[in-house]
Amino acid sequence: MKEHPFISVIIPTYNEKKTIQGTLEHLRKWEKRCEVIVSDGGSTDGTRELVFGDVKLLKVPSGRANQMNAGAEIATGEILLFLHSDTRLPPDVMEQLVRASMNKEIVGGAFKVKFDHPGLFFYLASLGSNLRAKLTGIFFGDQAIFARRSVFQQIGGFPAIELMEDWELSLNLRKLGKTILLPGPVTTSSRRWLIYGKWRTTWLMHKIKWLYLRGANPSDLKKLYTDRRC
């Protein structure tokens, strides 16, 4: 166990039996410089039984914001990095984060993203996501959001809402300093698009964002959204 890890990687899980082992194996190459925390929200498929090694395992009430906040509470790293179980970090993630952390004005950010499925659709989808993040400073969970632990604590973590917690965190971080979109890229799964249909999923995502901008309640938006990805 590392006394003072540079990064605490916090993974919120719910029925991620198919992905969690690969994710933890992926992170082992950085085990000397990071601690890994799996914050499980009541999986029923055996996800928790697949957590191994020095990984810290939490069993908490479901809800992604709640799970990530619970992981952050026990984290000891200088940087908190929130990683979906179906997302992989770039080989030079440590170098990218070290460079960013050297600029004291930067309080957090995320990474450019690409999808794990080939084709023009997913290339354009990642291009659009990266452009949006660059222009607006609003990041979403599949971009591996990170923040200085001290700043995350200062803003009170993720807001206790059922959806769009990453949107609100992005805005709150910017109240205390600069945020940055690192080159990454992180590689995230395209399984949601493949399960529900590429254009249908794209339309739904944009609909949720538009309704949220119009003042819709996150709990109502959650009813439109499903966490099932396999």
pTM of the model: 0.92
C-alpha span between 71 and 56 (Å, rounded): 9
- Which pLDDT value is given to residue 124? 93
Query: Quick one: DSSP state of residue 143?
Result: G
DSSP conformational letter for 45: S
Beta bridge partners of 178: 106
Q: Which residue intervals of the chain are DSSP H helices?
A: 20-27, 64-74, 93-102, 120-136, 149-154, 165-174, 191-196, 198-213, 218-222
Lowest mean pLDDT among 7-11, 98-102, 125-129, 222-226: 222-226
pLDDT at residue 1 is higher than 70: no
What pLDDT score was predicted for residue 195? 83
- CATH number for the domain whose boundaries are 7-113+135-189: 3.90.550.10
pLDDT of residue 218: 81
Q: Is 8 helix (H, G, I), strand (E, B) or coil?
A: strand
Residue that wins the pLDDT comparison between 99 and 222: 99
Which parts of 129-207 are beta strand (E)?
A: 146-148, 178-188
CA proximity to 8, closest of 79, 66, 87, 63: 79
Q: What is the mean pLDDT of residues 172-177?
A: 96
Quote the pLDDT of residue 226.
63
Q: Are 56 and 36 in contact (CB under 8 A)?
A: yes
Render pLDDT for 21-76 as a digit per residue (tens, 0 to 9). Answer: 999 999 999 988 999 999 999 999 999 999 988 999 999 999 999 999 999 999 99
What are the residue ranges spanned by the domains of the chain? Answer: 7-113+135-189
The type of residue at 22 is: G
* 112 alpha carbon, distance to own chain's centre: 12
Crossing angle of helices 64-74/165-174, nearest 10°? 50
For residue 2, pLDDT over 80 is answered with no
The half-sphere exposure of 55 on its side-chain side, counting CA atoms within 13 A, is: 26
| pLDDT tens by residue, 99-150 | 999 999 999 999 999 999 999 999 999 999 999 999 999 999 999 999 999 9
Instruction: Count Cα atoms within 13 angstroms, Cβ side, for 186.
Output: 36
The length of the chain, given as a count of residues: 230
pLDDT in tens, 88-110: 999 999 999 999 999 999 999 99
Residue 134 vs residues 124, 139, 193, 206, 229: alpha-carbon distances, Å:
15, 9, 23, 17, 27
- What is the phi/psi pair of residue 60, to 5°? -135, 165
pLDDT grade for 221, boundaries at 50, 70 and 90:
confident
**pLDDT tens-digit readout, 45-59:** 999 999 988 999 999
Give the confidence band of 3 by pLDDT, cuts at 50, 70, 90.
low
Q: CA 80, CA 153: separation in Å to the nearest integer?
A: 10
